[in-house]
Chains A and B, each alone.
Chain A
Amino acid sequence: MGAAGAARALLAMAAMAAVAVHAQTLHREADFAVHGDATAPPRDAQWQHVVLPNQWKADQPGSTPGWYRVTFSVREPKGEPWMVYLPRLREGGVLYMNGRLLARVPEPDAKTWVRWMRPHAFPVPPDELRVGENTLHVRVNPANRDRIISSIHIGPDEAVRPLYESRFFLTYTLAQIISAVTLAVAAFVIALWLRRRMELDYGLFGLACLFWGVHTLNYVIEEVPEPWFMTWRVLRYAATGGFAVAITLFYLRFAGIRPRGMTRAFAAYWLSGPIALALGGQALHGFVDRYYQGGLLLLGIVMIAAAVYAVWRQRSLLSAAFLACALFGLTGSVHDYLLSQGVVVDPEGPYLLYFAAAALLTVAGVQLVDRFARSLGAVERMNVTLAEQVAQKEKELAANYEKLRAMERERAVSTERQRIMQDMHDGLGSQLLTSLAAVERGALDPKGVAQVLRDAMDEMRLAIDTLSPGREGLLEALGNLRYRLEPRFRAAGIALAFGYRDLPDGLEVPADDALQILRVLQESLTNVLKHARAKRVAVEISFVRDPERFVLVVRDDGGGFDALGPARGRGLSGMRRRAEAIGAALDVASGAQGTRISLEYPLATRV
């Protein structure tokens, strides 16, 4: 078996330094005798020549122990320590050097199950050796299971110890490491899978790691107390079967084959062996060991089929690696199966699945990492695309908003223009027209013309005050009006008093409404100036709450309306019209004591 040879070469390579002395220290031949005494059989006993490694069949009858004898010669005592090293002493035994007890390796008995995977080595004190011929005896107890002994190395410590240490590392320490690592990976991947149940690949890989980690404990746990043995054995079969099933399913999915029925069938098969063993106990052990384990080999064939399919479909490096692993896995499994069934006796050879499984898990891990990285990349690309789309949408939105604003502005400008046109037409325009008609009729003297023009100017000022952009509000416009009219009242000798009550800092009123309010005030004040023959006039501007309204009161001590005639009446009806237009209430009271005009403009309903 080529793979087994390669693995053995690996073991040998690790011990390269000791190769030179290998031949001298290695003993592949021994004598074997069955002998009941506590001490070694004598020289003239019935020794048979055997080749190491050797298997003492359990079906050999009797309860007397078997003895292996190896003789070797020491040329001259150098006083250096020697070492006896057995790569494998599966069921233990007792070693004697020149008739004296050298070491005792625990053997299976009624209380403890024992099966050594590790190598054994024992230092030999220099004074135990003699110049010339020396003899090593190994006594093994008979039992219901085959006894297996490997070849034996005897030689100076420095030559033998490295062989022992490298084998110890490869068969024992490495198994510990693999077990720990696979269990840790299993914990991590299964935790990940529990968070993302739909990612079945993680689950299968995690389970494969878990099972393999437990299976590998097989190399580490060499002694089990009898009460626990059955449990441990069931667990071991479950782990081995579980690994085979999980890794096969994983690779089936990798190849793109996902038949549901197969998953169930595999799971059922996986459980059958351990359950049979648990229920049937020792009686069923031979059967389960032979046929359940043998059946698992078929999974190797399934896996190879899946791998071939994957290579054909994907033509990727990963699928090729998978095929190589699958081939290696099946070869190793068959090899190990034959070893375990005692068909092949090679106690020093490695269990190949040990390496094949590592390869299978590694390739599976690489495959998962590769997929994970790919999916991360895909998510990132998607995010970038998404961000670009969002940016694009934002840009469109901003453009739309800008367009909307431009339209809004245009609409506002257009409305404003229309309003100003309307105002020109109704206000200044009609004023100039009526004045023109009066002048043409010859009804006005120069003083009257001046008055008409002045009124037109005033009208225009109001429009500018209320309509020009950047105005703060009604109060400022009122202030401007007052500021403008004050000199005229001063010139006319009329005291103009303004009173403000409870006014806020600013009063926002639509420009159109402000214009009407100012017109009412201007009209009232110019009326006083022109007609009332008043000595004083008081303007009161206040802000009243509940409901919020702006109140304007103009009070004079002039002669009242009656003294005036129709001209004043026309002015009054104009004021009423303006008040109505902005929803304000105009109240006029006139008598001999003077005139009181009040305007109440509601604020709450505005804006």
Chain B
Amino acid sequence: MDTTSVLVVEDEPEFLRAYCEAITREPDLRMVGAVSTLAAALAVVSQSVPDVLVVDLGLPDGNGTDLIRHAVGLRADCDCLVVTVFGDDQHVIDAIAAGATGYILKDSPVGELAQCIRQMRAGGAPISPSIARRLLARMRSPADKASSPEHSPLSEREAEILKLIAKGLSFAEVGAALGISAHTVVAHVKKIYRKLSVHSRGEAVFEAAQLGLLK
């Protein structure tokens, strides 16, 4: 059977243990490692990038977003799932900008983790209303709007989806409102995440060029 390789990076032993159990329980998921520091995680990823990274952002020796950027840089289709305590928006957005395609609240039922991983591998991604609104704001900044609507990396459809999600609609409801399936909605969300990551990289390149760091 084609299994999904998973690396868990979590510095709190309780959670590390819970996640490991949750993953090993699933026959379609395969643990390739469980580490609690950024350095160890980077060492594992440098050997081989797993299909899925489950990453806590606040690691004792650094920030999880660095790991995400590194992993996605090595392997573009690596799915990074961010573990967050409160779904604290700015950190999640930063992680998505670094290349993450999903996030999960730390206190979610453990069963959700496997489900979330499967959804990501199937091409979808979770999103909460406040993350949707943040994405909208970020990818359609006033400066972008001023130049031209086409300048926004978001397509009309994607913007529409984000708006509905921000209003509190579920994926199924968004799909119903737009005449598409819930599955398509989450696929769109994942695409949006990727765009933000690319968009952010573009911004970084642009800024670097402005600063004369690149030739």
Q: Which residue of B lies closest to A491 (CB)?
A: B109
> Does B4 sit at the interface, judged by CB under 8 A?
no
Cβ proximity bits A443-483 to B, threshold 8 Å, 1 near / 0 not: 00000000000100100110011001001100110111011
Q: How far is the CA of A500 from the CA of B133 in the complex (A)?
A: 18
Complex contacts, B169 vs chain A, CB 8 Å: 479, 498, 500
A-contacting residues, B69-121, CB 8 Å: 86-89, 105, 107-109, 111-112
Q: Would you call A484 and B105 a contact (CB within 8 A)? A: yes
Given A464-B86, A480-B130, verify A472-B107 contact (CB < 8 Å). no
- Residue from B109, B128, B166 within 8 A of A488 (CB atoms): B109
- Residue from A457, A460, A476, A491 within 8 A of B168 (CB atoms): A476
Q: Would you call B166 and A486 a contact (CB within 8 A)? A: no
Chain B nearest CB from A500 CB (Å) reads 7
A-contacting residues, B138-181, CB 8 Å: 163, 165-170, 173
Given A491-B109, A505-B167, verify A480-B129 contact (CB < 8 Å). yes
Complex contacts, A99 vs chain B, CB 8 Å: none
Q: Would you call A471 and B130 a contact (CB within 8 A)? A: yes
Complex contacts, A491 vs chain B, CB 8 Å: 109, 111-112
> Does A200 sit at the interface, judged by CB under 8 A?
no
- Residue from A454, A465, A479, A484 within 8 A of B167 (CB atoms): A479
> Does A376 sit at the interface, judged by CB under 8 A?
no
Q: Would you call B173 and A498 a contact (CB within 8 A)? A: yes
Complex contacts, B108 vs chain A, CB 8 Å: 487
Q: Would you call A479 and B109 a contact (CB within 8 A)? A: no
Complex contacts, A461 vs chain B, CB 8 Å: 86-87
> Does A13 sit at the interface, judged by CB under 8 A?
no
- Residue of A465, A472, A483, A541 contacting most chain B CB atoms (<10 Å): A483
Q: Would you call A498 and B111 a contact (CB within 8 A)? A: no
Q: Which residue of B lies closest to A478 (CB)?
A: B168
Chain B nearest CB from A442 CB (Å) reads 24
Q: How far is the CA of A487 from the CA of B167 in the complex (A)?
A: 19
**How many residues of chain A are within 8 Å of chain B by beta carbon?**
26
Q: How far is the CA of A505 from the CA of B164 in the complex (A)?
A: 9
Complex contacts, B87 vs chain A, CB 8 Å: 461, 480, 484
Chain A nearest CB from B114 CB (Å) reads 12
Q: Which residue of A lies closest to B167 (CB)?
A: A475
Complex contacts, A503 vs chain B, CB 8 Å: 167
Q: Which residue of B lies closest to A479 (CB)?
A: B168
Q: Would you call B128 and A479 a contact (CB within 8 A)? A: yes
Q: How far is the CA of A505 from the CA of B86 in the complex (A)?
A: 25
Given A457-B107, A476-B130, A476-B133, verify A482-B168 contact (CB < 8 Å). yes
Given A454-B107, A464-B86, A488-B109, verify A476-B129 contact (CB < 8 Å). yes
Q: How far is the CA of A486 from the CA of B129 in the complex (A)?
A: 13
Complex contacts, B109 vs chain A, CB 8 Å: 487-488, 491
Q: How far is the CA of A500 from the CA of B86 in the complex (A)?
A: 26
Q: Would you call B112 and A476 a contact (CB within 8 A)? A: no
Chain A nearest CB from B116 CB (Å) reads 9
B-contacting residues, A110-134, CB 8 Å: none
Given A479-B165, A500-B169, verify A472-B133 contact (CB < 8 Å). yes
Complex contacts, A479 vs chain B, CB 8 Å: 128-130, 165-169
Q: Which residue of B lies closest to A498 (CB)?
A: B170
Chain B nearest CB from A468 CB (Å) reads 8
- Residue of B89, B128, B163 contacting most chain A CB atoms (<10 Å): B128
Complex contacts, B170 vs chain A, CB 8 Å: 482, 486, 498
- Residue of B88, B108, B133 contacting most chain A CB atoms (<10 Å): B133
Q: Would you call A487 and B112 a contact (CB within 8 A)? A: yes
Chain B nearest CB from A542 CB (Å) reads 13
Q: How far is the CA of A50 from the CA of B129 in the complex (A)?
A: 128
Q: How far is the CA of A461 from the CA of B88 in the complex (A)?
A: 10
Q: How far is the CA of A505 from the CA of B170 in the complex (A)?
A: 16
Chain A nearest CB from B50 CB (Å) reads 24
Chain A nearest CB from B83 CB (Å) reads 15
Q: How far is the CA of A605 from the CA of B107 in the complex (A)?
A: 38
Q: Which residue of A lies closest to B165 (CB)?
A: A479
Q: Would you call B166 and A476 a contact (CB within 8 A)? A: yes
Chain A nearest CB from B182 CB (Å) reads 12
Q: Which residue of A lies closest to B88 (CB)?
A: A464
Q: How far is the CA of A484 from the CA of B103 in the complex (A)?
A: 12
Complex contacts, A484 vs chain B, CB 8 Å: 87, 105, 128
Q: Would you call A500 and B168 a contact (CB within 8 A)? A: yes
Q: Would you call A480 and B173 a contact (CB within 8 A)? A: no
B-contacting residues, A535-568, CB 8 Å: 541
B-contacting residues, A205-226, CB 8 Å: none
Given A465-B130, A476-B133, A479-B128, verify A498-B168 contact (CB < 8 Å). yes
Q: How far is the CA of A487 from the CA of B128 in the complex (A)?
A: 13
Q: How far is the CA of A488 from the CA of B110 in the complex (A)?
A: 11
Complex contacts, B112 vs chain A, CB 8 Å: 487, 491
Q: How far is the CA of A475 from the CA of B167 in the complex (A)?
A: 6
Chain B nearest CB from A225 CB (Å) reads 84
Complex contacts, B163 vs chain A, CB 8 Å: 505
- Residue of A457, A475, A476, A486 contacting most chain B CB atoms (<10 Å): A476
Complex contacts, A465 vs chain B, CB 8 Å: 130
Q: Would you call A500 and B167 a contact (CB within 8 A)? A: yes
Q: Which residue of A lies closest to B127 (CB)?
A: A483
Q: How far is the CA of A528 from the CA of B121 in the complex (A)?
A: 33
Q: How far is the CA of A498 from the CA of B171 in the complex (A)?
A: 12
- Residue of A464, A478, A480, A491 contacting most chain B CB atoms (<10 Å): A480
Complex contacts, A454 vs chain B, CB 8 Å: 107
Q: How far is the CA of A484 from the CA of B168 in the complex (A)?
A: 11
Q: How far is the CA of A468 from the CA of B107 in the complex (A)?
A: 20
Q: Would you call B128 and A483 a contact (CB within 8 A)? A: yes
Complex contacts, A488 vs chain B, CB 8 Å: 109
A-contacting residues, B177-197, CB 8 Å: none
Q: How far is the CA of A68 from the CA of B128 in the complex (A)?
A: 129
Q: Would you call B111 and A476 a contact (CB within 8 A)? A: no
Complex contacts, B105 vs chain A, CB 8 Å: 484
- Residue of B87, B105, B167 contacting most chain A CB atoms (<10 Å): B167
Q: How far is the CA of A488 from the CA of B130 in the complex (A)?
A: 20
Q: How far is the CA of A479 from the CA of B167 in the complex (A)?
A: 7
Cβ proximity bits A486-510 to B, threshold 8 Å, 1 near / 0 not: 1110010000001010010100000
Q: Would you call A476 and B86 a contact (CB within 8 A)? A: no
Complex contacts, B166 vs chain A, CB 8 Å: 472, 475-476, 479
Chain B nearest CB from A37 CB (Å) reads 110
Complex contacts, A486 vs chain B, CB 8 Å: 170
Q: Which residue of A lies closest to B105 (CB)?
A: A484
Chain A nearest CB from B104 CB (Å) reads 9
Q: How far is the CA of A588 from the CA of B167 in the complex (A)?
A: 27
Q: How far is the CA of A106 from the CA of B130 in the complex (A)?
A: 112
- Residue from A457, A460, A483 within 8 A of B129 (CB atoms): A483
Q: Which 5 pairs between the two chains have the least Cβ-Cβ distance?
A: A479-B168, A479-B129, A483-B128, A476-B129, A491-B109
Taking A476-B133, A487-B112, A498-B173 as known contacts, 19 extra A-B pairs with beta carbons closer than 8 A to each other, sorted by chain A number, are: A457-B107, A461-B87, A464-B86, A464-B88, A468-B89, A471-B130, A472-B130, A472-B133, A475-B166, A475-B167, A476-B129, A476-B166, A478-B168, A479-B130, A479-B165, A479-B169, A483-B128, A498-B168, A503-B167
24 contacting pairs across A/B (C-beta < 8 A): A454-B107, A457-B107, A460-B86, A461-B86, A461-B87, A464-B86, A468-B89, A475-B167, A476-B130, A479-B167, A482-B168, A482-B170, A483-B128, A483-B129, A484-B87, A484-B105, A484-B128, A487-B108, A491-B112, A498-B169, A498-B173, A500-B169, A505-B163, A505-B167
